[in-house]
A and B are shown apart, each in its own frame.
Chain A
């Protein structure tokens, strides 16, 4: 178990953690460079947990419960095949969750990102920004469920998924799923899969940037939106480095 009982502002490295608990009222930052197949997370009342996961090649699931007023922010990077996923239960009123992810697959890799966020209490907020780039003959499946059971009010859920296909043989299957059974709900979602913008590519090339580098710059710029907000510069740089290394050019 990761020891996050103290309030920490610097990242705590905890590779392969099978359970993480952010104690009531505390703030914790946990970085996992080798996520376990299953990790259970509890964010207690009023606690905040920032959770960064570097996944690739193995399956890695998170099962999280966020209690009253708790805040869970998880950012997952998937740089190779394998099934990555998470289920989050916003269990207490005022609980919130942000579950962003970046995936980069190339060659013949097959991966999936499956998430399910359940708003099980009033006034809960969730947001999710997933961005991916897929090359070669790689295949990614994104399945994102936002569940709002009956009888809740003041719910706000947002989900955006955007992916770039870097080769004509790469595929992304996106299955966004909103299951809304309450009335007082704000829910925005969208999913788009497309190619690199040829006009942007041309613009960079007219400034002297070679085709390969221009592609790298554009894919990086596209994916950056997800990682831009990382508070710790070292950690942000590690995301950028791993993303760059996973790109096929």
Chain B
């Protein structure tokens, strides 16, 4: 296994407030990692910094993705490299349907690889296989992006976008919070189906059952912007409460 993502001493701030304080983490090709830790530890910030969210300022450290300097790239370039974030709170975009949105996204990715845009038939085929598998109806594809969707539907649509774009680093931010058992299964199934030797996952979750159903390889505990503990699956059992970690700081 080769290192897919290497995060070295990463520091980041927002509005002059330090949030990531020298974070180290390595994710190998094909692995599934859980990122846990108390609220406000900086988990979502980490994912957004890796995506290049301009709201966050990187103040130190280095991130290599497949050997390339990720921090030098624009947000869309990172996506073309295979970085994907399933948002905890996806934004609503009135006036554009999910089907059209994904067409723009797919074609932008294809152009970056020097490929031609999808033709209408090729595009429909690519989308239909995935929408069917994830229980995304035609009506949902025609609706404006995330507008009028329930919490569960929004998360399903995030998983759908992940399936359509076939990223190589899937960061999934609290997909499991606030979902009922059925919706949770959709998310877990989507991840399990997409698991591949050349695709890694980072999952923010507090839900032990969800993480077990996905079968994580490694578990990281984040506290105050640092990884304070890394272990295997068995670490899940220990983590009934993050309070201890917060106090130890």
Q: Which residues of A contact B (CB under 8 A)?
A: 197-200, 202-211, 213-214, 217-218, 220-225, 228
Contact = CB atoms under 8 A, between A and B. Distances in A.
Interface of B: 51-55, 74-76, 78-80, 83-85, 87, 90-91, 93-96, 101-102, 104-106, 108-109, 112, 144, 161, 165
B91 A208 contact: no
Contacts of B109: 208
A197 B76 contact: no
Given A205-B79, A207-B104, 13 more contacts: A198-B55, A200-B91, A202-B53, A203-B90, A205-B52, A206-B51, A206-B76, A207-B105, A208-B79, A208-B108, A208-B112, A208-B165, A209-B104
- Interface core residue of A203, A213, A217, A220 (most chain B CB under 10 Å): A203
B93 A205 contact: no
Given A203-B90, A213-B108, A208 B95 contact: no
B112 A218 contact: no
A223 B53 CA distance: 26
A66 B161 CA distance: 49
B76 A205 contact: yes
A206 B75 contact: yes
A239 B161 CA distance: 29
B94 A208 contact: no
Contacts, number: 81
A155 to B, nearest CB: 29
Contacts of A207: 79, 101-102, 104-105, 108, 161, 165
Contacts of A228: 95
A221 B108 contact: no
A214 B76 CA distance: 10
A213 B105 CA distance: 10
B75 A213 contact: no
Contacts of B75: 202, 205-206, 211
A226 to B, nearest CB: 10
A224 B165 CA distance: 26
A208 B93 contact: no
Contact of A209 (B76, B78, B90): B76
A221 B96 contact: yes
Nearest to A226: B95
A211 B105 CA distance: 12
29 contacts: A198-B55, A200-B91, A200-B93, A202-B53, A202-B54, A203-B87, A204-B101, A205-B76, A206-B51, A206-B84, A207-B101, A207-B102, A207-B104, A207-B165, A208-B76, A208-B105, A208-B112, A208-B165, A209-B104, A209-B108, A210-B108, A211-B74, A211-B76, A218-B96, A220-B95, A221-B93, A221-B94, A223-B95, A225-B94
A133 to B, nearest CB: 12
Contacts of A198: 54-55
Contacts of A211: 74-76
Q: Which 5 A-B pairs have the closest CB atoms?
A: A221-B95, A208-B79, A205-B75, A207-B105, A221-B96
Contacts of B161: 207
A169 B212 CA distance: 53
Nearest to B80: A208
A198 B54 CA distance: 9
Contact of B93 (A203, A210, A213): A203
Nearest to B144: A221
